[in-house]
Homo-oligomer: A and B are copies of this chain.
C-alpha cells in the first residue's frame, strides 16, 4: 500500500508530573497525580483512584508466566512525548499524520467533580500539548480536552484552543448526570459549529472502563466500552443536535465501526415505528444526520468494512491507536492491507486519509513524497 496514511486515533503520554507542576498551587493536591496507596502506585484525581498501575503490572507479570496463545507481547514505543522521536515512530509505521488524544488526562479529566479543577486540568494539558506539538509539525493534530461540568467554561475553552491552533476537541463519550440531549449544551454545539471544530467522543471516557469485575472482565469490559458510543450517536442524532447544527461534525473514537450500520438502522426503525411518540420530529431520518455529520474510528474491523454498503465510506476513519498495545503500530500498513484488500481504491483513500484530512484540515502531501 503506497498511500498517505492519517491515524485518526493516537495517544500521547503526558509527563507524570504535568499537573503537580503546572496546576495553580491551591489545586495541585487534588489534581491528577501519582500516589502510592497501600503499596500500589495509583493515578489519582481528587480522592479517586482512576488507575492502579501496580495491579496492571502484577497482571502483566502473571500473564508472562501463562500460555501466551497468539497474543505474544509486541515491542512498542511508550508513545514518545518528544515530537522528533514521535515523528520517527510515525515514519517507522508509515503513517504521515495523526490526531492525538491524551493518556493520563483521558483517564482523569472527566471524572473530576469540581468544575474549577476540571477547567484548570484541561487547560494545563491543552497548553502543554500545544506547546510541545502544535507548530512542531503539521503532522500532529492533538485534540484539546474540553471541561464539561460548566458549559460557559467549555465554550470559553473551545474558543481558546481554537485560537491556539487546535483542530479537534475531546468531550467525554458519556455524561450520565446530564446527557447530551439536554438543551444546556446548545451553546457548546453552536460554538463548535461556528469554529468548524470537530467534537470527538472517545470510547472509555465519562464512565468506568471496568464496569465488570471477576471472570471474563477483560472481554466484557472491552465489549461494553467500545460499543457504548452507539448510545452517544443516538443522543446526538435522535435529539436533533445534528439537525439544529448542520455544520457541526462529531466523531466517535476507538469504538470500532462494526456496530455503526446496525445503530443507524435501529435509530431509523425506532423513528419510524415509534413515530407517534418521537419528539422532536426531524426533517431527515436520524441516520441521515450521522452520515452527513458524523464519523467513527476503527483499527481493525472487518465487520465495519463489510457494512460499507449500509454506512457509506465517508463516516469511517482508520486509527492506529499508537502507542497502545492493542494498536496496530508498527504494522499498520500490513493490518490495513489485510483488511482492505477487497475495497476500491477510492474507498480505501477515503478511510485511511481523505476523510480525516478534510475533517481535521491536514494538507496532504503528494503521495510520492511519502512513498
Contacts and interface: CB of A to CB of B under 8 A. Distances in A.
9 contacts: A216-B234, A222-B266, A222-B267, A223-B230, A227-B231, A256-B262, A265-B301, A265-B302, A273-B326
A310 B262 CA distance: 14
A60 interface: yes
Contact of A217 (B220, B275, B279, B281): B279
A262 B63 contact: no
Nearest to A301: B265
Given A215-B240, A307-B303, A181 B220 contact: yes
Nearest to A236: B216
A280 B304 CA distance: 28
Given A220-B231, A238-B220, A304 B262 contact: yes
A53 to B, nearest CB: 14
Nearest to A272: B71
A165 to B, nearest CB: 34
Interface residues of A, number: 72
Contacts of A256: 262, 265-266
A257 to B, nearest CB: 8
Given A63-B276, A182-B214, A239-B215, A303 B262 contact: yes
Contact of A258 (B73, B265, B280): B265
Contacts of A179: 212
Interface string A248-289: 000000001011011101110111111111111100001000
A9 B219 CA distance: 29
B262 A239 contact: no
A59 interface: yes
Nearest to A271: B219
Interface string A173-201: 00000010111000000000000000000
A70 B271 CA distance: 10
Nearest to A325: B273
Contact of A218 (B67, B182, B263, B270): B270
A226 interface: yes
A300 interface: yes
A224 interface: yes
Chain A binding surface SS class? helix
A181 B215 contact: yes
A66 interface: yes
A233 B216 CA distance: 11
A279 B218 contact: yes
A365 interface: no
Closest 5 pairs between A and B when the two form their complex, measured CB to CB? A63-B276, A258-B262, A216-B238, A219-B238, A71-B275
A326 B280 contact: no
Contacts of A218: 238, 270-271, 274, 277-279
A15 interface: no
Given A262-B256, A262-B259, A279 B223 contact: no
A275 B239 CA distance: 39
Nearest to A71: B275
A137 interface: no
Given A73-B276, A258-B261, A309 B307 contact: no
